[in-house]
Structure 1
Amino acid sequence: MIDDKQLYLGLRSPRALLLVQDLLQRMRNGSLVAAMRLPAERELCEQFNISRGTVRRILSNFSEQGLLHQMPGSGTFVTDKATLLLQGAGSHQIASAADPAYVSPADLMAARLLIEPLMPQLIVQNGTVQDFERMQECLTYSEQASSIEEFEHWDEQLHAALATATHNAFFTQLLGLVNQVRDQGEWGNLKKKSLTLQNRRAYERQHRELVEALRARDARAAKKVLTEHLEQIQVNLFQIS
């Protein structure tokens, strides 16, 4: 459970306090969800007219409370447990199969197949240059990943970038629910078993084809690739023949 007072420690500038309030509000209302990257420190400095040292202190406070994860050279990201922490739930509380709130990996994939193919049309309409640059960054890092965990992280970041590029609050909030299920041990075990080198290369190819289609503003081709990608994940996870 987060004590908001800890996030304000050492801060006196009204503009610094405003940044803390803004981050908390956006995390609580769903506009900042798990795996989303925050604007660069320079952008936050300019937006709130505060020094870089103050921005770094604020981000460090959020990181110490488990709300943000700072990755040198990549940026600052909302953690998977941020929503639960801000809602007052314990950071280690994970739904089990006996819990009514439990969502199985099979349920997740079935829902993703129905909903995510709707995203390309919105991305084609609303995606910015910065959105596509972020997608490209995720592609590059995922292909360079040296472990399953690192690849999974950048795979998650790519899907976060896709949701963000819709510029639609429904899809950014949906991403938070997806990541909560992905954070469960059951999903991780299935992914580790299914992520062979051959499957990983197929995912990387599909990711690149998807981003290329979106960059070309070809919603139909992007929808086709995304659907095939999700269907392939479903087959690999559950060994569907």
Structure 2
Amino acid sequence: MSEKDLGMRAAGAKALAAYLRQEMSSGRLSEGMKLPPERKLSETFGASRGTVRRVLQDFKARGLIAQAVGSGTFVQAGVQAMVEAAAIDDPAPAVETSPAELMEARLLIEPLMPLLIASHATASDFSRMDECLVRAESAETIEEFEHWDAELHKSFAAATHNSFFLQILDLINDVRERGEWGRLKQQSMTPERRKDYEAQHRALVASLRDRDAAAASAAMQVHLRQIQQNLFGV
């Protein structure tokens, strides 16, 4: 990524954080109000979805907003006084990771999640997985499929009920939203490969629903290794 692109991302993050501070301090964003979707914030402020998530995560950690999977992001009670007292620094710059490095890390990290999912996942978690499966399978473009593919893997992280995995998946999705990953996916995707991915997703969710952590972990490794093979031929 060029220095110009990095500068634009940093500017977008600063603009979003400044907007939220100003709107909360003025009372225009008050208790219970719902923030625009991440995609809309990304478009408005010229920041990647991952950058938007990092800004929102910072505001969430300070108790200014609350997030509910499938419902959205909402302003917390007493936010006007809290934001005036909080020293909210600019978000950290995006981590620069190549698609090849991303796949290496995913193969190490994501197969660990099923053990926690098997222990902690709720009916709501499985409902979100099912929604992502259906939306991905009905996607009419590769971009739409990629979005719901990423959301499915994020739903796995959410189902661990461990904030570390959610933060890692946010970083993973940030890399996936960059141009290089998209170009590789466009070049490698065929109707047959997409059907393979969809079948692997279904098998993975079925193993998780059965609380079979070993089978789900093995299915995750198979899925990620096929993606790696299709993208890089290794």
Q: Same fold (TM over 0.5)?
A: yes
Q: Is the 8 A contact 1:113 1:230 kept in 2?
A: yes
Q: 1:44 to 1:177 in 2, by over 3 A?
A: closer
Q: CA deviation at 1:184?
A: 1.6
Alignment match, 1:188: 182
Q: 1:221 to 1:184 in 2, by over 3 A?
A: same
Q: Select the residue among 82, 88, 102 that pairs with 1:108.
A: 102
Q: Is the 8 A contact 1:30 1:172 kept in 2?
A: no
Q: CA deviation at 1:27?
A: 1.4
User: What CA distance in whole angstroms lies between the structure 1 residues aligned with 2:55 and 2:145?
Assistant: 30
Q: Is the 8 A contact 1:119 1:163 kept in 2?
A: yes
Q: Which amino acid in 1 is paired with 2:153?
A: H
Q: Is the 8 A contact 2:125 2:158 kept in 1?
A: yes
Alignment match, 1:88: 90
Q: 1:30 to 1:152 in 2, by over 3 A?
A: farther
Deviations 1:187-230 (A, max 9, x none): 11001111111110000000000000000101111011000000
User: What CA distance in whole angstroms lies between the structure 1 residues aligned with 2:106 and 2:209?
Assistant: 22
Q: 1:195 to 1:8 in 2, by over 3 A?
A: farther
Q: Select the residue among 7, 13, 22 that pairs with 1:5.
A: 22
Alignment match, 2:57: 27
Q: Select the residue among 121, 124, 129 that pairs with 2:123.
A: 129
Q: Is the 8 A contact 2:55 2:91 kept in 1?
A: no
Q: TM-score, normalising length from structure 1?
A: 0.67
Q: Select the residue among 208, 230, 233 that pairs with 1:236.
A: 230
User: What CA distance in whole angstroms lies between the structure 2 residues aligned with 1:161 and 1:214?
Assistant: 12
The sequence identity of aligned pairs, in percent, is: 46
Q: Select the residue among 146, 149, 156 that pairs with 2:143.
A: 149
Q: CA deviation at 1:37?
A: 6.2
Q: Is the 8 A contact 2:204 2:216 kept in 1?
A: yes
> Gaps (5+ residues) in structure 1?
49-85, 96-100
Task: Look up the SS of the partner of 1:217 in the other structure.
Answer: coil
Task: Look up the SS of the partner of 1:180 in the other structure.
Answer: helix
Q: Is the 8 A contact 1:213 1:222 kept in 2?
A: yes
Q: Select the residue among 146, 153, 161 that pairs with 1:159.
A: 153
Q: Is the 8 A contact 1:30 1:169 kept in 2?
A: no
Deviations 1:140-172 (A, max 9, x none): 010001110110111011011000000011100
Determine if the alignment matches structure 1 residue 140 to structure 2 residue 157.
Answer: no
Q: CA RMSD in A?
A: 3.2
Q: Which amino acid in 2 is paired with 1:203?
A: Y
Q: TM-score, normalising length from structure 2?
A: 0.69
Q: Which amino acid in 2 is paired with 1:104?
A: S
Residues paired across the two proteins, number: 185
Q: Which amino acid in 1 is paired with 2:90?
A: G
Alignment match, 2:10: none
> Gaps (5+ residues) in structure 2?
1-13, 36-52, 62-66, 78-87
Task: Look up the SS of the partner of 1:121 in the other structure.
Answer: helix
Q: CA deviation at 1:179?
A: 1.3
User: What CA distance in whole angstroms lies between the structure 1 residues aligned with 2:197 and 2:143?
Assistant: 15
User: What CA distance in whole angstroms lies between the structure 1 residues aligned with 2:215 and 2:69?
Assistant: 30
Q: 1:213 to 1:28 in 2, by over 3 A?
A: same
Alignment match, 1:40: 71
